[in-house]
Copies of this chain bind each other. A is one copy, B any other.
Amino acid sequence: MRKSDNHNKQPFLRHLGDAIRSRRVDLVLSQEQVGVRANLHRTYVTDIENGLRNISLLTLLRITNALKSPPSSPILVAEKAMGTVKRGKK
């Protein structure tokens, strides 16, 4: 069900998407609600959470503003995940 193989090619985007989803779920928000707050389509939010979109920094800011978190927050999570997973996983 992947839109493209970016999912495999870009683990950073996947980890970032996981971090964004996790934050959204913590806030008990739907993808639609985040989309409205960030002025993005719900399906675009879905794609971001699935690591399928190489978003721009300003889009990242819109998302993190919608999630009331600093932009560095999902970046740091993704960075950490990249560091710990790093070739240890198939």
* Chain A residues within CB distance 8 Å of chain B: 10, 12-13, 16, 54-58, 60-61, 70-72, 75-76, 79
A13 to chain B, nearest CB (A): 7
25 cross-chain CB contacts under 8 A: A10-B58, A12-B57, A12-B58, A12-B61, A12-B71, A13-B57, A13-B58, A16-B57, A54-B56, A54-B57, A54-B58, A55-B56, A55-B57, A56-B56, A56-B57, A57-B57, A57-B60, A70-B79, A71-B75, A71-B79, A72-B72, A72-B75, A72-B76, A72-B79, A75-B75
Q: Summarize A's interface: helix, strand, loop or mixed.
A: helix
Name the residue on B nearest A76 (C-beta).
B72
